[in-house]
Amino acid sequence: MILHHRRDRPAPWQQRQARTRHRWLLPLLAVDWLWEWLAYLLSNWSFLEVLEYLGSFSILIGVIFWFTESGARVQQRHYQAWQVINTAQGKGGSGGRIEALEELNADHVSLTGVDVSQAFLQTLRLPQAQLMRANLSAADLRDSDLHDTDLSWAELRSANFRNASLVRVVFSHADLRDSDLSAADLSGARFDAADLTNADLHDADLRGIAWQQIAAVLNANIAGVKNPPDGFVSWALKNGAVQNAENP
């Protein structure tokens, strides 16, 4: 916004002095009168007006550069997130991976093949993530939200999914051996060709799961499962599953 405008010429000091009733105000009025003259002189200096226009123009240029460089900033942010994930690969703890994974997923970046094995990822929020062929073996994912995520062909052996939201997750061909799925919400999940050997499913919600093509359930604990589809429990027990209510 251009604030520069030309000012009227100040009245002569004699006129200003004559209008003053209180003599003790004269020093203050003199100072004010001098400032008025300075403002008047500067208001007629075109250079200042040019500077104001240049200032507004520089703001416009800055805004343009901000938007044109937004893609580079996003790429830099993604690079830093991947650096955090890859640097901590194979290590325990979080190491900033929760925030990095969530940031990438929020930007709709595919996480296919990511390796976060043995990581502490409790309460991770990755809804609708692309995690095909990811390695989450022995990762702690308790209380996480992975609804509508694709975990096809993922390595999930010994992963801890207790109390996790796994609604409509695709586990096709996933290795879920020795995984802990107790009390998880598996509503609508797909287990085509998945290996659930020794998996703990006790108290899990199995409403509407696709189970007919499960590859193996040997020693899988299905005690107390909720809303199992018709025929699932009898099929699972026939194929080696157990109902161990004392399992912690």
User: Residue 207's domain spans which residues?
Assistant: 108-248
Alpha-carbon span 214 to 229, nearest angstrom: 13
3-state secondary structure of 153: coil
Quote the number of domains for the chain.
2
Question: What's the one-letter identity of residue 225?
Answer: V
End-to-end C-alpha distance for the chain, whole angstroms: 68
Is residue 92 within 8 Å of 111, Cβ to Cβ?
A: no
For all residues of the chain together, what is the average pLDDT?
A: 85
Q: Are residues 151 and 237 in the same domain?
A: yes
Which residues 6+ apart lie within 8 Å of 165 measured at CB? 144, 145, 146, 147, 184, 185
| CA angle in degrees (0–180, nearest 5) for 11-14-17 | 95
Q: Are residues 59 and 114 in the same domain?
A: no
Q: Are residues 32 and 123 in the same domain?
A: no
pLDDT at 2 over 80: no
At residue 6, the pLDDT reads 60
Residue 180 lies in a domain: yes
Q: Are residues 118 and 44 in the same domain?
A: no
**Based on the number of CB atoms within 10 Å of its own CB, is 167 exposed (0-12), middle (13-18) or buried (19 or more)?**
buried
Q: Are residues 49 and 132 in the same domain?
A: no
Alpha-carbon span 139 to 128, nearest angstrom: 19
- The token pair at 41 is 């002189």
Residue 181 lies in a domain: yes
Alpha-carbon span 154 to 170, nearest angstrom: 10
Is residue 161 within 8 Å of 183, Cβ to Cβ?
A: no
Place of tokens 């109390």: 163
- Proportion of the chain above pLDDT 90, given as a percent: 62
**202-224: pLDDT as tens digits:** 999 999 999 999 999 999 999 99
Residue 78 lies in a domain: no
Query: Which residue in 108, 88, 110 sits closest to 98, CA to CA?
Result: 88
At residue 124, the pLDDT reads 97
At residue 3, the pLDDT reads 52
pLDDT at 248 over 60: no
Which residues 6+ apart lie within 8 Å of 3 measured at CB? 52
Please report which confidence band the pLDDT of residue 76 belongs to, taking 50, 70 and 90 as the band edges: confident
- Beta-carbon-side half-sphere exposure of residue 83 (alpha carbons within 13 Å): 6
CA 104 to chain centre: 7
pLDDT at 33 over 70: no
Q: Are residues 153 and 215 in the same domain?
A: yes
Max CA distance (Å), the chain: 113
Q: Are residues 175 and 125 in the same domain?
A: yes
Query: Which residue in 55, 58, 66, 38 sits closest to 2, CA to CA?
Result: 55
**92-147: pLDDT as tens digits:** 777 799 999 999 999 999 999 999 999 999 999 999 999 999 999 999 999 999 99
